[in-house]
Every structure is written in structure tokens, then in C-alpha cells.
Structure 1
Amino acid sequence: MPDRPRFFDDLAGVAGGAFSALSGLREELHAIVRSRVDETLAALDLVRREELDVVRDVAARARLELDAAEARLARLEERVTALEIGTPE
């Protein structure tokens, strides 16, 4: 049985090298695109989703605290008014 001709071995080596090169090129292209997207987002001065969620949570807590403070103030104003009139609470 004759050995495989060297031509096919060389062809397989070239094909393997081409696939390797294409894989490296794909990774490099991905890195370049990612870098450009990051630069564009930085130039637009956008915030990340995580930062927005944190600010939203802080604002929601502040709103709850404000509502509680307003309710307490209303009760205190009622007490002051009652004391000024001289009627018991």
C-alpha cells in the first residue's frame, strides 16, 4: 500500500495554518470592535446599568424617608395647632 503523497500532507498543513490564522484574526477583530464600542460609550458619557440601578434604589429609599418625614411633620403641626388652640389632643 503506497504512502499518502506528500502533497496531501502539505495541503493539510496549509489548511490548518489558515484556520489558525483566521481564528487569530477573528479574535483580533473582536478586540478591536470591543475597544471601539467602549470608546464610543465613554464619549457618550453613559452610565452602566448597575450604576443606574443603585441610583434608582437610593432615590426610592429617599422618597420613602421623605414621605415618612412629611407624615411626621403633619402630625407635629396638628399637635402645635391643638396646643395653640388649647384643646387636648
Structure 2
Amino acid sequence: MRPAERSARDSAARRIGAVVWPSFFAAGVATMVFFAIVDPLDLAAITWPKVEISRQAGYTIGFFMFWLCTFCACGFTALLIAPPLHTLHDDPPEPL
């Protein structure tokens, strides 16, 4: 593998890690805070009264829902702060 290919792969892994890790951490914190106040069995009885859900399944579903939300937020932030893509024939923009 050439150094340029390795550098591009490392860069992509860093970008993915910069989105996945903070979203995972934030989802863990949000899950702890939310379920410190709300019991998953009570929430399940309110939202899905005909479905039997264990407390552990409620925690798991809640964590993955929080992770999806925080992953989307982190991904959108990464998209917004990414440098603009320039085509080869365009001049770079002038600084303000």
C-alpha cells in the first residue's frame, strides 16, 4: 500500500471515529440521565401497552435511540465543519 493510500485510509478512520465515539459517549450519558428519572417498564406500559418488554430491553432500546440521535447530530456537525470541495479548475475562495 502506498503512503498516500494509507494516509487517506487513516484520515477516513479518524473522521469516522470523530463522529462515532462522541455520539456513543453522549448516548451513554443521556441514557443514564434519562433512566435515572424514567423507569423503562413504566415507559413501556405507556407507549406499548400490549407488548411485554423487560427492563433490560428498555434500557437497550433507549440507548440505541439516543445513540442514533447523537450520531446524526455529530455527523451533521462533521458535515458542516468539513472543508469545501473544490474542483480542479476552480480557484480557491478568497479569505474574508
TM superposition score category, shorter chain reference: 0.3 to 0.5
Instruction: Report which structure shows greater RCO (CA 8 Å, sep ≥6).
Output: 2
Greater fraction helix? 1
TM-score using structure 2 length: 0.35
TM-score using structure 1 length: 0.37
Greater Rg by CA? 1
